[in-house]
Amino acid sequence: MSGSRLPRLVGLLSLLLAACALPFVLSNFRLFQFSQVYIYAIAILGLNMLTGYNGQFSLGHGAFYAIGAYVSAIMMDRWNIAYGWTLPVAGVLCLVVGFLFGLPALRLEGLYLALATFSLALAVPQILKYFEHWTGGSQGIVLSKPNAPFGLKLNPDQWLYFVTFAVLVLLFWLGANLLKGRIGRAIVAIRDNHIAAEAMGINTALYKSLVFGVSAAYTGVAGALSASVIAYVAPDSFNVFLSVTLLIGSVIGGLASISGAVFGALFIQFVPNWAQDISKAAPWAIFGVFLIGFMYLMPFGIAGGIRLLWIRATRSRVPQEGRSAVPTQAHTTT
């Protein structure tokens, strides 16, 4: 056990260092793209907790992303509150809203929950446009990017990169601890067999609503970050395709996997860019083809595929690992 932790730790640390070095080698535009990746990764981790670990579908997480973004934008624009303070507020508000939405969702299973959340996703832009007084209607709200504090010699894009990265590390650390511990096991138990879970004394109703809340909070914080990074919010950027994008990211990255959130985020950020060169409409066609292809060939996503390859490569040493190849298990240590 202790021998296997070291390579993992070294790997994580070198990734961390590489990420901190990026701002000094990449152009501002690339940095902006990487900030986007981190934001998507946070949102996808939130969605993963709900859909991957807890087995509740959400086709409407764009709604929580929108709430986070608008809370942050309105606080900055109207009350001149520093962007940093808007993140916890957006998170807590989304936690409450998500928890409340999770209560009726308790009665809905599988497809019905998918239906309800899908209609939520469709309705979001209309609702945002309706409260014109607060949201600025279809014009949206234009913000300005914050400058680096303490006289740091960083331009706004570099500073925002570090802010999003710090939030990402914090939330991933919290999320990993949450999912690996007692609560995480309860969450997975509910997904795998909720009757057995209940018999074990798990309060399934409370846990399911709480997971909904936490998941919404992650997505809300991501939305709030995106308001600062893009410096603009408008209703039509939170349409149903945003929710579908997040879901695509989490499925392609790998459901029920923490690293999968990062792979998924990289995918949804960079694949469309590359596909846009072919045609304006191509990104979605390519998303769709990838999505269906992954469902056939790699239903556990990129993270699941990597883990499977790893297990195959090391099978000769630990043969019994082959059976726990299902990536829904906790990380296999070899």
Partner 1 sequence: MDIFIQQVVSGLATGGIYASLALALVMIYQATDVVNFAQGELAMFATYICWTLIHAGLQYWAAFVSTLAIAFVGGVVIERVVIRPVENAPILSIVMVTLGLLVICNSIAGWMWTYVQKPFPSPFPENPFKFGNIVFGAHDLGEIQVTLLVLLCIYLFFRFTPLGLAMRAAAHNPVSSRLVGIRVGWMLALGWGLAAVFGAVAGMMVAPVLTLEPNLMGGVQIYAFAAATLGGFTSPGGAVLGGFIVGVVENLVGTYVGFIGTELKFTVALAMIIVVLLVKPTGLFGTTVVKRV
Which residues lie near partner 1 (CB under 8 A)? 51, 57, 59, 104, 107-108, 110-112, 114-116, 118-120, 122-123, 126-127, 129-130, 195, 240-241, 244, 247-248, 251, 255, 279-285, 287-289, 291-292, 295-296, 299
Reduce the DSSP state of residue 142 to 3 states and report it: strand
What is the helix (H) or strand (E) element at residue 239, kind and residue range?
none
State the nearest-atom distance from the C-beta of 318 to partner 1, in Å: 28
Reduce the DSSP state of residue 232 to 3 states and report it: strand
State the nearest-atom distance from the C-beta of 197 to partner 1, in Å: 13
d(CA 230, CA 308): 37
State which residue, 40 or 172, has the beta carbon closest to partner 1. 40
User: Quick one: tokens of 192?
Assistant: 């795998």
User: Quick one: tokens of 207?
Assistant: 């846990």
d(CA 142, CA 230): 9
State the nearest-atom distance from the C-beta of 114 to partner 1, in Å: 6
Q: Cβ contacts of residue 249 below 8 Å, gap of 6+?
A: 40, 44, 47, 261, 264, 265, 267, 268
State the nearest-atom distance from the C-beta of 130 to partner 1, in Å: 6
State which residue, 37 or 124, has the beta carbon closest to partner 1. 124
Q: Cβ contacts of residue 191 below 8 Å, gap of 6+?
A: 53, 54, 55
Going from the C-alpha of 192 to that of each of 196, 198, 256, the distances in angstroms are 9, 12, 12
State which residue, 129 or 315, has the beta carbon closest to partner 1. 129
State the nearest-atom distance from the C-beta of 77 to partner 1, in Å: 23
State which residue, 107 or 153, has the beta carbon closest to partner 1. 107
Q: What is the DSSP letter of 278?
A: T
State which residue, 118 or 270, has the beta carbon closest to partner 1. 118
d(CA 247, CA 268): 10
State the nearest-atom distance from the C-beta of 18 to partner 1, in Å: 32
Q: What is the DSSP code string of 298-331? A: -TTHHHHHHHHHHHHHTTTT-GGGGGGG-TTSSP
State the nearest-atom distance from the C-beta of 298 to partner 1, in Å: 11
State the nearest-atom distance from the C-beta of 45 to partner 1, in Å: 17
d(CA 250, CA 268): 10
State which residue, 63 or 266, has the beta carbon closest to partner 1. 63
State which residue, 131 or 173, has the beta carbon closest to partner 1. 131
State which residue, 65 or 172, has the beta carbon closest to partner 1. 65
